[in-house]
Amino acid sequence: MSLGVRWLKFNAVGLLGIGVQLAALQLFAGPLHWNYLIATAAAVETAVLHNFFWHIAWTWRGEPRPIAGRLLRFHLGNGLVSIGVNVGLMRLLSGSLGLPLLPANLLCIGLAALANFAVSEWWVFAAHPEANG
């Protein structure tokens, strides 16, 4: 599959993940009354898990490496990038600048997307020689 097709699939999964993340953020920060930074981190983690399983099933389907190793790499790569960008920028955008939570979080998600694709393509789901032999 070409890099362009994977990029489109990655973004389609990401669009679903945005919905998951925003719904989780709304739940955690709204009815559950969590601190907005803790709610942001938990919402990102919810979306990271959602996206990982969709990427396994669709975006990078057929990668032979065991799922536990890929999940660990996904968390170390995409999870840390996503949580770092989201929590750090939410502190600035929502905490310091006073932007509403959901628009601020959408901006954070957009800024993390390209880095997350690169990490996924060339580290998390890349074919590795040890997987073939």
Number of domains in the chain: 1
| 111 falls within a domain | yes
In which domain, by residue range, is 116 found? Answer: 3-128
Domain annotation covers residue 58: yes
In a domain, 69, yes or no: yes
Residue 115 domain-assigned (yes or no): yes
User: Is 36 part of any domain?
Assistant: yes
Per-residue pLDDT band at 130 (split at 50, 70, 90): low
Q: What is the pLDDT of residues 37-90, one digit of tens each?
A: 999 999 999 999 999 999 999 999 887 678 898 999 999 999 999 989 989 999
Residue 28: C-alpha distances to residues 49, 51, 77, 103, 130 (Å): 17, 19, 24, 16, 41
In a domain, 20, yes or no: yes
In a domain, 62, yes or no: yes
Q: Kindly state whether residue 133 falls inside one of the protein's structural domains.
A: no
Are residues 22 and 50 in contact, defined by beta-carbon separation less than 8 angstroms? no
Tell me which residue has tokens 């905490």.
Answer: 95
Q: pTM of the predicted model, to two decimals?
A: 0.82
